[in-house]
């Protein structure tokens, strides 16, 4: 009998990280601003900006910190409304609260993407910013979102924490809005345990974010302008904000940067393996009448390291039974709205104002399943997972009925 695949271990960190970490341990040079130049964090920023084709990058302690600094960099007045999708991780409304904004949740459809009708209705004149979470890499209609936000002059922050490598019309996710934020937490494409980064082309925004991240005194001088660019925009922006902003000290350590940098050359392979694996499992699951893997939107090329699918024609009891049956077959499935205290179920965000019914999101969360699919898995392991999930659905609904309905 094939053993159920281990879906929890991350990929090993590339060997190249060791020498650099050893060097850092020897010198004790762990703080990004000790060296006059070329600190690992600064090099990571240069490399990440180049990878994304962005002018500026700022590496910080987490994607949550990146989202918080993005909102602060936008200089929004206290209590400004910030639109966020109702399907996201609790870190997102938390970042809005941290930045003293008011999160307003937008309903999400059963394909995990923002409902554009609800979005348009909630994008009122008093909205100061929009955060779009590309949740689990699922991309909402960025054409429609950008058209509405651009015409209302409302800045868009992309929460691409879990979406590094995804493209929209061939354009990198995280470069479409004014600011893009990414995570280096262990369950994301690049793993440093913890960490995050924000990118933007706007000199004023990056200067504000850099200072507030903890570039006290003149440490901003260690943030280089992009290669070949005129540096005066950036220098002027730093001069404008010197001593005028609080320092939230949410910097990244050189050790984390040393863990991340050698993973960057692996990204393309991880992205293409992840997509191939995902689509293989999706095809197998979609053969079951009880399971629906929503199709991506046409302009979207995903970079998945997990799979989401909806149970079709299942009651609450059936859904619980499905989770148990999958577990008995060795595959762990999380139904976002069914597991107790799930951080992606909006009703558990009791630190924000009640947001009304959000009927589509609630319905989706009660049937949407989440299974990890690390990019290192091979075909037999992927087949094992897909077969276990299809069989678990049949355990609950009956194989005889399966192809007769
Ligand atoms: C992981 C994640 C975050 C939070 O990232 P951290 O680096 O852990 O703060 C935010 N949004 C989404 C969509 C995520 O997947």
Return the CA Rg of the chain: 22
pLDDT band at 87 (very low <50, low <70, confident <90, very high): very high
* Domain co-membership, 207 together with 238: yes
Protein residue whose Cα sits closest to atom 12 of ligand 1: 161
Asked whether the whole model's pTM tops 0.85, one would answer yes
Bridge partners of 157, per DSSP, are 131, 179
Counting ligand 1 atoms within 8 A of each CB, the residue from 89, 93, 260 with the most, and so the one to mutate, is: 89
Counting ligand 1 atoms within 8 A of each CB, the residue from 71, 162, 165, 193 with the most, and so the one to mutate, is: 162
Tens of pLDDT, residue by residue over 94-145, are 999 999 999 999 999 999 999 999 999 999 999 999 999 999 999 999 999 9
* Domain co-membership, 378 together with 237: no
Provide the mean pLDDT of the chain: 95
* Domain co-membership, 236 together with 351: no
* Domain co-membership, 72 together with 173: yes
CA angle 119-125-129, nearest 5°? 65
Ligand 1 atom nearest to CA at 160 = 13
Is 12 among the domain residues? no
Ligand 1 atom nearest to CA at 62 = 7
In the reported structure, the alpha carbon of residue 2 is separated from the centroid of ligand 1 by a whole-number distance in angstroms of: 33
Is 208 among the domain residues? yes
pLDDT band at 217 (very low <50, low <70, confident <90, very high): very high
Is 101 among the domain residues? yes
pLDDT tops 70 at residue 229: no
Is 395 among the domain residues? yes
In the reported structure, the alpha carbon of residue 158 is separated from the centroid of ligand 1 by a whole-number distance in angstroms of: 12
* Domain co-membership, 295 together with 257: no
Ligand 1 and 64: CB distance under 6 A? yes
- How far is the C-alpha of 263 from the C-alpha of 332, rounded, in Å? 27
pLDDT tops 80 at residue 363: yes
CATH code of residue 354: 3.90.1150.10
Q: Are 174 and 158 in contact (CB under 8 A)?
A: yes
Q: Are 147 and 154 in contact (CB under 8 A)?
A: no
Domain boundary pick from 249, 265, 281: 265
**pLDDT at residue 2, rounded to an integer:** 60
**pLDDT at residue 405, rounded to an integer:** 46
In the reported structure, the alpha carbon of residue 358 is separated from the centroid of ligand 1 by a whole-number distance in angstroms of: 22
Ligand 1 and 189: CB distance under 6 A? no
In the reported structure, the alpha carbon of residue 162 is separated from the centroid of ligand 1 by a whole-number distance in angstroms of: 7
Ligand 1 atom nearest to CA at 188 = 1
Domain boundary pick from 265, 281, 309: 265
Q: What is the mean pLDDT of residues 67-83?
A: 98
pLDDT band at 402 (very low <50, low <70, confident <90, very high): very low
* Domain co-membership, 242 together with 343: no
Q: What is the mean pLDDT of residues 194-209?
A: 98
Protein residue whose Cα sits closest to atom 14 of ligand 1: 161
Antiparallel, parallel or unpaired: β 300-301 and 102-106? unpaired
- Residue-number span of the structural domain to which 203 is assigned: 17-265
- How far is the C-alpha of 5 from the C-alpha of 361, rounded, in Å? 31
pLDDT band at 293 (very low <50, low <70, confident <90, very high): very high
Is 2 among the domain residues? no
Ligand 1 and 191: CB distance under 6 A? no
* Domain co-membership, 342 together with 195: no
Task: Identify the sign of the CA torsion 385, 373, 158, 80.
Answer: positive
Residues 6 or more apart in contact with residue 36 via CB below 8 angstroms = 222
Domain boundary pick from 265, 298, 331: 265
Measured from the Cβ of residue 321, the count of other Cβ atoms closer than 10 Å reads 17
- How far is the C-alpha of 252 from the C-alpha of 182, rounded, in Å? 13
**pLDDT at residue 232, rounded to an integer:** 87
Q: What is the mean pLDDT of residues 317-339?
A: 96
CATH code of residue 70: 3.40.640.10
pLDDT band at 404 (very low <50, low <70, confident <90, very high): very low
Ligand 1 and 371: CB distance under 6 A? no
Is 390 among the domain residues? yes
Protein residue whose Cα sits closest to atom 13 of ligand 1: 135
Ligand 1 and 95: CB distance under 6 A? no
Counting ligand 1 atoms within 8 A of each CB, the residue from 64, 174, 193 with the most, and so the one to mutate, is: 64
Residues 6 or more apart in contact with residue 153 via CB below 8 angstroms = none
Bridge partners of 103, per DSSP, are 82
Ligand 1 and 314: CB distance under 6 A? no
- How far is the C-alpha of 205 from the C-alpha of 73, rounded, in Å? 5
Number of domains observed in the structure of the chain: 2
pLDDT tops 60 at residue 403: no
Counting ligand 1 atoms within 8 A of each CB, the residue from 137, 159, 308, 342 with the most, and so the one to mutate, is: 159
* Domain co-membership, 295 together with 164: no
* Domain co-membership, 223 together with 315: no
* Domain co-membership, 220 together with 299: no
pLDDT band at 306 (very low <50, low <70, confident <90, very high): very high
Is 8 among the domain residues? no
Helix (H) or strand (E) holding 129: strand 127-133
**pLDDT at residue 400, rounded to an integer:** 55
**pLDDT at residue 10, rounded to an integer:** 83
* Domain co-membership, 194 together with 274: no
**pLDDT at residue 80, rounded to an integer:** 98
* Domain co-membership, 233 together with 291: no
13: helix, coil or strand? coil
Q: What is the mean pLDDT of residues 260-276?
A: 97
Is 369 among the domain residues? yes
């Amino acid at each position: 009998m094939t053993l159920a695949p281990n879906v929890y271990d991350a990929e090993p960190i590339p060997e190249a990280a060791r020498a650099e970490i050893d060097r850092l341990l020897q010198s004790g040079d762990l703080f990004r601003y000790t060296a006059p130049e070329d600190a690992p964090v600064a090099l990571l920023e240069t490399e990440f900006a180049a990878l994304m084709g962005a002018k500026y990058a700022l590496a910080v302690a987490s994607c949550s910190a990146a989202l918080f600094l993005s909102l602060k960099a936008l200089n929004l007045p206290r209590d400004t409304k910030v639109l966020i999708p109702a399907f996201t991780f609790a870190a997102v409304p938390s970042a809005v609260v941290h930045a003293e904004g008011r999160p307003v949740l937008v309903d999400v459809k059963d394909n995990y993407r923002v409902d554009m009708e609800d979005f348009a209705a909630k994008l009122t004149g008093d909205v100061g910013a929009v955060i779009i979470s590309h949740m689990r890499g699922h991309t909402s209609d960025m054409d429609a979102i950008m058209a509405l936000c651009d015409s209302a002059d409302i800045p868009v922050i992309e929460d691409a924490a879990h979406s590094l490598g995804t493209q929209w019309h061939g354009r990198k996710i995280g470069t479409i809005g004014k600011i893009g934020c990414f995570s280096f937490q262990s369950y994301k494409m690049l793993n440093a345990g913890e960490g995050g980064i924000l990118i933007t082309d706007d000199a004023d925004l990056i200067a504000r974010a850099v200072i507030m991240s903890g570039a006290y005194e003149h440490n901003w001088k260690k943030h280089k302008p992009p290669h070949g660019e005129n540096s005066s925009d950036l220098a002027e922006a730093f001069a404008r904000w010197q001593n005028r902003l609080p320092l939230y000290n949410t910097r990244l350590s050189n050790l984390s940067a040393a863990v991340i940098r050698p993973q960057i050359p692996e990204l393309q392979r991880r992205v293409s393996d992840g997509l191939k694996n995902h689509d293989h499992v999706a095809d197998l699951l979609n053969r079951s009448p009880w399971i629906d893997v929503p199709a991506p939107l046409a302009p979207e090329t995903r970079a998945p390291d997990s799979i989401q699918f909806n149970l079709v024609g299942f009651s609450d009891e059936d859904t619980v039974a499905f989770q148990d049956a999958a577990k008995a077959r060795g595959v762990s499935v999380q139904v976002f709205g069914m597991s107790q205290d799930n951080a992606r179920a909006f009703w558990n965000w009791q630190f924000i104002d009640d947001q009304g019914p959000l009927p589509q999101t609630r319905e989706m969360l009660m049937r949407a399943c989440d299974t990890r699919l690390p990019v290192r898995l091979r075909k037999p392991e992927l087949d094992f997972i897909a077969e276990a999930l299809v069989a678990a659905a049949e355990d609950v609904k009956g194989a005889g009925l399966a192809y007769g309905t």
